Homo-oligomer: A and B are copies of this chain.
Amino acid sequence: MIDDDLWSAVGDPTRRRMLDLLLVDGGGTATTLSEQLPVTRQAVAKHLGVLDRVGLVHATPLGRERRYEVDEAQLARAVAQLSSVGATWDARLQRIKRIAERIQRQTGEIS
């Protein structure tokens, strides 16, 4: 079954870009992330809270800053669910297509 919390966490475009930045930079703080994003630091902080709550990132206090890093295992889980839903729809599409072809073939035989 799919985890709606994980999906909706990844569903927000800003959070997706944040995950991307955290991956390429190998971690970051709310301030450093907000500098590379079109939103304020506070908005980034809220998003980090959401990502933390579903376990996609993990915070470590470092001096006066709060460094966040991606939890690779959890992100891998999220990726797996994405591809799972995609595969389901893909299968349904192909099934519909097969049925459509079969019906067309039968109709052809009848007429």
Binary per-residue interface labels of chain A (10-23) against chain B in the complex, 1 for a CB within 8 Å, 0 otherwise: 01110010011001
The yes or no answer to A60 lying at the interface (CB within 8 A) is: no
The yes or no answer to A40 lying at the interface (CB within 8 A) is: no
Is there an interface contact between B7 and A92, defined as CB atoms closer than 8 Å? no
> Which residue of B is nearest A26, CB measured?
B96
Report the interface size class on chain A: 20 to 34
Is there an interface contact between A86 and B79, defined as CB atoms closer than 8 Å? yes
Question: A23 with B72: in contact, given A8-B11, A8-B13, A82-B83 (CB under 8 Å)?
Answer: no
Is there an interface contact between B89 and A79, defined as CB atoms closer than 8 Å? yes
**Of B75, B85, B89, which one neighbours A93 at CB under 8 angstroms?**
B75
A1 to chain B, nearest CB (A): 12
Residues of A at the B interface (CB closer than 8 Å) are 4, 7-8, 11-13, 16, 19-20, 23-24, 26, 72, 75-76, 78-79, 82-83, 85-86, 88-90, 92-93, 96-97
